[in-house]
Amino acid sequence: GCSFGITANTAYFGRFYPDSFVLSAPSFINRNDISGCDIQTTGTIAATSNSLSVVSAAGYAVGDTLIVRGAGSSGADLQAAATAITGTTITLASAAATDVTGATVYKLAFSYEGESMLIGFTVNAFNGLTTPSVTKNYTGAWAGGTVSLQAGNSGTDLSSRMTLGITPAWSSGAYVVNAANAQLQRAAAPDGPYDNLQIGVAVSDPDGAPLLGLNMNPTAASCTAPACTGVTVANTRIRFGRLILSNAHGSELLALPVPAVTQYWNGKLFVTNTDDSCTKLTAANFVLAKSPAACTSTLSPIATFAAGKNSLTLSAPGAACRIDLTANLTAENEAYLQGNWSGAGYTQNPTARITFGIYKSGPVIYLRELH
């Protein structure tokens, strides 16, 4: 019921349905399953200026595409390449359209299909007062608005593959999302790459209340009213990846390097993912099937990948033996790097055959030709 006797302003008085919805506090982290992989900072830039002052420029390089929250037209995100970096000042290829102070700044990086990303935002239901306020009664059974994710890459609608991994709910006029395991679900076969992916939010309300600030449509590369259907939360790149382990052979008296490479599908074939300097593997999550079983070779601790490449090291066994080395990517929480190694689908862990004590080519010590 309504409390007609109160004299103070109250957010609980009025209609139970909102006049409009507003999205705020967007946040995004690529490769959220790997701590410290996605480099973010905060910065300040003035409208019409292309000089961005940041707290720290560590991890950024000339040529990187940066995203500055709220610095674009009408408060949208500004996306521009870094053309120069001097100390904590980054010169951008495009000027800001809106003043921002302490805005989040992040690099346009990537995540693999099926890999966790952090997506955060709040949608508030507002009343239609001259100075709108949140409709606190919009909660529980009174809240009929459906909030959904949108995802589009230059007109390719990928919304059906976006998942938050959680089930938020309306509470006192607010729909708060902080999804640490959001992802674009991995396709059954290689697809992409999606290098211009927009992730956004749409609201469908049975009373017809609109979401304000619409600026994206997953079925189009760009949009203008009334064709826009959602509000952008993040821009990123998504790639279909896999991990390759190469066979290796050598002396039983020497440690043996085993090449490892992360790759992504470039639309035609798999290529080395030179942008991947974050992937980690744990020696404990490898299976070493040895023949004979008495083979004493062990796998050393593994460094982080650099530009998509790594080298695993197996210790010298001292006697001839063979090892089938398999990375358990499910235990590693990196099933998004599984491959199709036997034709059964992209759900298989990579394996390499390691052989100690067989003939291998080596440097020539002395060569003489007789005629």
Q: Where are the domains of the chain?
A: 20-38+109-239, 241-356
pLDDT one-digit tens code per residue, 209-229: 999 999 999 999 999 989 999
pLDDT band at 1 (very low <50, low <70, confident <90, very high): very low
Which helix (H) or strand (E) segment holds residue 136: the answer is none
Reference 105, options 161, 165, 64, 164; nearest CA is 64
> What is the pLDDT at residue 76?
87
Distance CA 248, CA 358 (A): 11
What average pLDDT score do residues 89-100 get? 97
How would you label 290-327 residue by residue, b for 16+ Cβ within 10 Å and e otherwise?
beeeebebebeebeebeebebebbbeebeeebbbebbb
14: pLDDT strictly greater than 70: no
pLDDT band at 26 (very low <50, low <70, confident <90, very high): very high
Q: Check residue 33 and give left, alpha or beta (phi > 0: left; psi -120 to 50: alpha).
A: alpha
Distance CA 353, CA 289 (A): 10
What average pLDDT score do residues 334-355 get? 97
> What is the pLDDT at residue 2?
46
> What is the pLDDT at residue 367?
63
> What is the pLDDT at residue 22?
97
Higher-scoring residue by pLDDT: 75, 10: 75
> What is the pLDDT at residue 134?
95
Q: What single-letter amino acid sits at 265? A: W
Is 274 within 8 Å of 309 (Cβ atoms)?
Answer: no
Is 230 within 8 Å of 214 (Cβ atoms)?
Answer: yes
* C-beta neighbour count of 13 within 10 angstroms: 14
Mean pLDDT, rounded, of the chain:
93
CATH topology for the 241-356 domain: Immunoglobulin-like (2.60.40)
Higher-scoring residue by pLDDT: 196, 359: 196
pLDDT one-digit tens code per residue, 214-272: 999 999 999 998 999 999 999 999 999 999 999 999 999 999 999 999 999 999 999 99
349: pLDDT strictly greater than 90: yes
Measured in degrees and rounded to the nearest 5, phi and psi for residue 306 equal -130, 120
Give me the sign of the Cα torsion angle 340, 344, 347, 351: negative
What average pLDDT score do residues 198-211 get? 95
pLDDT band at 12 (very low <50, low <70, confident <90, very high): low
> What is the pLDDT at residue 364?
60
Q: Do domains 20-38+109-239 and 241-356 have the same CATH topology?
A: yes
pLDDT one-digit tens code per residue, 277-325: 999 999 999 999 999 999 999 999 999 999 999 999 999 999 999 999 9
The CATH class that applies to domain 20-38+109-239 reads: mainly beta
Higher-scoring residue by pLDDT: 166, 1: 166
Per-residue HEC secondary structure of 311-361 comes to EEEECCCCCCEEEEEEECCCCCCCHHHCECCCCCCCCECCEEEEEECCCCC
pLDDT one-digit tens code per residue, 109-153: 999 999 999 999 999 999 988 899 999 999 988 899 999 999 999
> What is the pLDDT at residue 3?
46
Beta bridge pairs of residue 360: none
